[in-house]
Amino acid sequence: MGTLASISVMPSKLRYKLLTAFCLMSLVPILVGVYIASLFIKFPFEVNPVNLATISLVVLFSLTLSFLGYQITKQMVSPIASVALQAKNIAAGNLVEEATDVKGSEELEDLSKSLKEISKNARDLLNKVEKLSQKDKLTGLYNAAYIRERLEEEILRSIHYQRPCSFAYFAVDGLSVLALKYGEITAEEAIKSIAGVLNKNLSEFDRAARVAKDDFAIIIADKNKKKAIETVEAIAKEISEFAFIKEEFREAIKLGLFVGISENPIDGITADELYIKATTRARSAMIKGNLIEAFA
């Protein structure tokens, strides 16, 4: 089977039909010309102005018919070739924004419009899939892959405008205990609540992500560590107020939060450097029992 690149825009059968039609349109005027010449030209042929004029007119008439035949055939085939090209582009994944409108046949115009609609719907679907691939299904936050890519972009932006950029990594403690005692549904509700708190405390330029089962991260744009700590403390205060309890259990389960913060360019100039520094500090905070580690 040939590749898409080897497929001809005009199918071979259609090309043969075009060639046949052109030959027929050429032969007919030639035969007509011979017939007309036989009526007006006497043999033996005499070279005189009348005969030469007659032959010239016959030849001109024949060529005119041939050219008209070619133009008619071209008008018939061009829309088909255009539709074939649109279909080929769609099959190859080339979902162009604007395709050339096909003129000359109502049926082909409808087919062309349908192909354009298919192309538009496919583009919209691909855009939706791309957006979904960047999000965590449970929380609606961005995922780990996106946040690292976005962090790299934010670092470049901050360097260009000579602005700070901070990154905070949140390790949440207690979610596994919550799942064991109250079930996965309750744990998932807690995770969604944490996501809500993160979104609530971020500016329009900040980005939040769920990077692991119990871990979250935020990009805090245009803020140094001091300002980032203020944002993290506001988030931690709300999360610390969460308490989960059921009648069959006497004690409420509260969530612990341990945060590591890094800043560009103090702690690194790449996304990997800031990410590793923040995660290391979050684990260190968990071991030490501190809420935030930003300078160790």
pLDDT digits (tens, 9 = 90+) for 122-140: 777 766 665 557 888 899 9
Q: Minimal CA–CA distance to 90: which of 61, 125, 57?
A: 125
pLDDT at residue 133 in the model: 73
| pLDDT per position as a tens digit, 198-215 | 999 999 899 999 999 999
Contact 215, 171 (CB under 8 A): yes
The pLDDT assigned to 8 comes to 46
- Give the pLDDT band of residue 114 (cuts 50, 70, 90): confident
| Secondary structure element (H or E) that encloses residue 149, with its range | helix 144-161
pLDDT given at position 182:
84
Please, which pLDDT band fits residue 49 given cuts at 50, 70 and 90? Answer: confident
CA dist 55 and 38 (Å) reads: 10
Both 219 and 97 in one domain: the answer is no
Backbone angles phi, psi at 103, to 5 degrees: -120, 155
Both 102 and 172 in a single domain? Answer: no
**Within this chain, do residues 99 and 152 fall inside the same structural domain, yes or no?**
no
Residue 95's pLDDT band (boundaries 50, 70, 90)?
low
Q: How confident is the model at residue 258 (pLDDT cuts 50, 70, 90)?
A: very high
Which residues constitute the domain of residue 74? 4-130
Residue 225 in domain: yes
72 with 179, same domain: the answer is no
Q: 245 and 155: one domain?
A: yes
Q: Do residues 276 and 151 both lie within one domain?
A: yes
Same domain, 102 and 154: no
Amino acid at site 265: P
The total number of residues shown for the chain amounts to 296
For residue 243, pLDDT beyond 90: no
Q: How many domains does the structure of the chain reveal?
A: 2
Question: Considering 65, 96, 130, which residue would you say is the last residue of a domain?
Answer: 130
Reported as a pLDDT band with limits 50, 70 and 90, residue 4 is: very low
Indicate if 172 and 106 belong to the same structural domain: no
Bigger pLDDT: 241 or 206? 206
Considering the domain architecture, whether residues 38 and 176 belong to the same structural domain is answered as no
- This prediction has a pTM of 0.58
Together in a domain, 102 and 155: no
Q: Is 156 helix (H, G, I), strand (E, B) or coil?
A: helix
**pLDDT value at residue 36:** 63
> Do residue 262 and residue 148 come from a single domain?
yes
